[in-house]
Amino acid sequence: GRERTEVARSLIMHMTSQRSKKKFPQLQATWELLGYDAPSTVEVEFVNGKQKRFLCEHYSRNEMQDIIDVWQFEAHMEYMKEHSLEKDDDDE
């Protein structure tokens, strides 16, 4: 196999663990490990339907989590802007 595939396996185990499912009940994680010589990628689809992807083989699990945390924060901020209690009814 390719180098650093253990990081991808570790991420899969983390995302599908009971602890993660309990902490993030809306999280739906799917994965596929393929046995060919291609770069490892992570694809993320948020609840709002937006999708993001990155090559992960050069990152540690913590570095990948940092990337996804930024995406998650941006999605949260977008949601808060769209669903603000201070938003005027005329803005819709």
The one-character DSSP state at 58 is T
Instruction: Provide the angle, in degrees to the nearest 10, between the axes of the packed helices 5-15 and 61-82.
Output: 50
19 contacts 66 by C-beta, under 8 angstroms: no
pTM of model > 0.75: no
pLDDT tens digits for 14-57?
A: 888 899 888 888 877 777 766 667 777 888 888 778 888 888 87
The radius of gyration computed from the CA coordinates of the chain, to the nearest angstrom, equals 16
Q: What SS3 state is found at 46?
A: coil
Which residue type, as a one-letter code, is found at position 59?
Y
